Copies of this chain bind each other. A is one copy, B any other.
Amino acid sequence: MNNQGSSTCAWPHPGRNGNAHSSDRVYAVDRWLVHMFLHALGDPALQVCLWDGKEIPLAGSRPGLGMVIHDRAALWRLLTNPLLHFGDDYSAGRIEIEGELVSFLETVYRAMAGSPKFRRVSDPSAYRRNQPHLNSIAGSRQNIHHHYDIGNDFYQLWLDANMQYTCAYFPDPAASLEEAQVAKMDLVCRKLRLQPGQTVVEAGCGWGALARHMAKRYGVTVRAYNISHEQIVHARQRSKAEGLEGQVEYIEDDYRTIKGYYDVFVSVGMLEHVGPDHYQELGAVIDRCLKEQGTGLIHTIGQNSATPMSPWFLQRIFPGSYPPTIREMMALFEPSEFTVLDVENLRLHYAKTCEHWLERFEQNLNRVREMFDERFIRAWRLYLSGCVANFSIGSLQLFQVVFSRSTNNQVPWTRDHLMVSTGKS
């Protein structure tokens, strides 16, 4: 590639709706539109090829990393709402990526950090931006149904055997996903210092793996809440098959309806779907249900400063979701004077977890194709690749926060209890 004028793409560019004989004047407009689009994203070092095979000359572009825009309408759309339309047009196959999608996205996301339009400046209303609907009880059901109820068979193709759709913990980067998901559950259990006979309430239990693990390995009784019907059905089946029905109860209901009084409150991967408007409400639920000497743990995707999610992500993948900053999370703890005992950031573990998911997803494409169309597959490839990229470049974090009541002096004296695995997989 050179920067002296138009050239032709070095990579395949089938051409779809474009006109290969466009005039120089039209080409100048296209070139200008590409520049405008990239400039809005902070000028990422990418190659861009048009529908007619022409490559747009771009200063500093990185050979082998770029995009083909297959028609002029897609290019125009990129200017009006770049993130929404990039996602949609990539999903529809009107945009193609040259090079590795994760690297492409990392390059774009890094550039965006320097763009006035997307610079990460903390915005107290970030969580409301681009949201189709927020998380009332009814809104939450709709939002959760959109993502989690699309078929357990699909998730089984690329999650671990225990169906955990949250950040794993790799004691060693080379650990398998299966090992790392068990290690994550044990890490959570050690942080909570579970003792046989204790009672646990879990808010947002997914397919129920943690509740079963706690019951089986640590001898506790768990009541686990979730509003995804498909997940609850699966969780109950597994619990029955494993003979844990007396010890684990799955309740298809919202966290706001939690009843009872427990030694432990735990929530792994739900806070992302709660929304900062409802953190105080969740904090009041915890205050109501946690015993005086109880311990709580919240595991959530987070970010360093309050910035909105992409509209594509919110409309197509995870409506109602928002990864909080630590500042925003404090609304959970401050009104009830909970004490934060421990925060651990597992960001790189989530990058690795998503890499495993993406790899398994790609390995099982034939089976995914039996369930969904190509647009779905491309959307999910973009979503999973975007997760790898966001965790890898540090625009998303993973916080595990342990807390207790401020008056509880039975808190751990040191971190020694974290270091010995008491559960066996």
Residues of A within 8 A of B (CB): 113, 120, 122, 170-171, 173, 304-305, 325-327, 330, 333-335, 337-345, 347-348, 392-395, 397, 399, 405-409, 411, 413-415, 418-419
Contact = CB atoms under 8 A, between A and B. Distances in A.
Contact of A394 (B122, B408, B419): B408
27 contacts: A113-B337, A122-B335, A170-B413, A304-B337, A304-B338, A305-B335, A325-B330, A326-B326, A326-B330, A326-B340, A327-B327, A339-B394, A340-B345, A340-B399, A341-B344, A342-B343, A342-B344, A344-B415, A347-B411, A348-B409, A392-B409, A393-B407, A394-B405, A394-B406, A394-B408, A394-B409, A395-B406
Given A305-B337, A347-B411, A348-B413, 16 more contacts: A113-B337, A122-B335, A171-B414, A173-B413, A304-B334, A304-B338, A326-B327, A326-B330, A326-B340, A339-B394, A342-B345, A344-B415, A348-B411, A392-B409, A394-B405, A415-B419
Contacts of A406: 304, 394-395
Contacts of A392: 409
Nearest 4 pairs of A and B residues by beta carbon: A343-B343, A394-B406, A327-B330, A305-B334
Contacts of A170: 413
A304 B413 CA distance: 19
Most buried by B among A304, A325, A339: A304
Nearest to A173: B413
**Number of identical monomers bound together in the oligomeric complex:** 2
Given A171-B414, A173-B413, A413-B348, A334 B327 contact: yes
Contact of A325 (B113, B325, B334, B411): B334
A246 to B, nearest CB: 35
Contacts of A337: 113, 120, 304-305, 394
A415 to B, nearest CB: 7
Contacts of A414: 171
Contacts of A409: 348, 392, 394
A326 B173 CA distance: 31
Contact of A341 (B345, B415, B419): B345
Nearest to A414: B171
A81 to B, nearest CB: 25
A405 to B, nearest CB: 8
A195 B278 CA distance: 44
A349 to B, nearest CB: 8
Contacts of A341: 344-345
Name the residue among A340, A397, A408, A411 with the largest chain B CB count within 10 angstroms.
A340
Contact of A334 (B122, B335, B397, B418): B122
- The residue in A338, A394, A399 that gathers the most chain B C-beta atoms within 10 A of its C-beta is A394
Contacts of A407: 393-394
A345 B113 CA distance: 32
Contacts of A120: 337
Contacts of A325: 330, 334
Contacts of A348: 409, 411, 413
Contacts of A342: 343-345
Contact of A339 (B327, B397, B419): B397
Nearest to A418: B415
A30 B249 CA distance: 59
A123 to B, nearest CB: 11
A120 B414 CA distance: 27
Contact of A333 (B304, B413, B419): B304
Contacts of A394: 337, 339, 405-409
